[in-house]
């Protein structure tokens, strides 16, 4: 197993002739529900674009606030922004916390993680590292499963949720089945 490397995520985002933002905006449409709420640092826009491309290729829909709701003011930490994000989180099956070199500086990521964990308890951490094996999350991130990748030659990246080695698609479906059983 391995983590996504920052270099390969950046290459994924820039391997197209269009900008990362254009690619993402064109892929959105008018969704009202998503598989993944991607919690991330706004300074990681290119990394986010690459991760979204990888997740999309694996068949997962991803909510990214500055793409799906570009009218929101990310610089304003206020009740209206928080309420919009609460609504979007309730429309997502899971939250993936994109851990990068920039994530510790984000004002929103800890709030998103705590809110979603309290609401749905279906949270995982996806490290994007500069060198393989270099992931060391903070103590509170160790509470959550980690999303690692399998990189079969000539095939799309496969996402696996550790510690149980569950494919991300199965992990997402397990949560959906649990919601149906509990009437959520």
Indicate the helix (H) or strand (E) that contains 10: helix 6-14
User: Among 58, 54, 56, which Cα is nearest to 28's?
Assistant: 56
Question: Are 36 and 61 within 8 A, CB to CB?
Answer: yes
pLDDT at 70: 83
Domain count, the chain: 1
Identify the three-state secondary structure at position 115.
helix
Query: Rounded to an integer, what distance in angstroms lies between the CA atom of residue 45 and that of residue 41?
Result: 8
pLDDT at 92: 95
Do 127 and 111 form a contact (C-beta atoms < 8 A)?
A: no
Where in 70-168 does DSSP place strands (E)? 92-99, 123-129, 146-150, 158-162, 166-167
CATH classification of the domain holding 97: 3.40.50.10140
* 86 three-state secondary structure: helix
Digits of tens for pLDDT over the chain (184 positions)?
A: 699 999 999 999 987 444 555 555 555 556 789 999 999 999 999 999 999 999 999 999 999 988 888 888 767 778 888 888 999 999 999 999 999 999 989 888 999 999 999 998 899 999 999 888 778 777 889 999 999 999 889 888 899 999 889 999 999 988 655 443 333 3
Q: Tell me what pLDDT residue 25 has.
A: 54
pTM for this predicted structure = 0.86
Structural domain span for residue 173: 4-182
């Amino acid at each position: 197993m391995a983590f996504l490397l920052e270099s390969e995520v950046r290459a994924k985002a820039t391997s197209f002739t269009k900008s990362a933002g254009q690619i993402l905006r064109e892929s959105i449409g008018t969704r009202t529900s998503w598989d993944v709420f991607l919690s991330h640092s706004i300074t990681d826009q290119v990394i986010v674009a690459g991760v979204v491309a990888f997740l999309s290729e694996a068949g997962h829909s991803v909510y990214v606030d500055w793409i799906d709701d570009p009218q929101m003011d990310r610089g304003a930490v206020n009740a209206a922004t928080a309420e919009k994000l609460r609504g979007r989180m309730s429309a997502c099956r899971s939250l993936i916390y994109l851990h990068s070199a920039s994530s510790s500086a984000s004002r929103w990521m800890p709030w998103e993680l705590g809110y979603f964990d309290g609401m749905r308890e279906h949270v995982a951490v996806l490290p994007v590292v500069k060198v393989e094996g270099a992931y060391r999350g903070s103590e509170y991130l160790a509470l959550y499963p980690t999303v690692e990748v399998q990189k079969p030659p000539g095939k799309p990246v496969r996402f696996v949720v550790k510690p149980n080695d569950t494919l991300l698609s199965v992990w997402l479906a397990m949560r959906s089945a649990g919601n149906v059983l509990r009437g959520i």
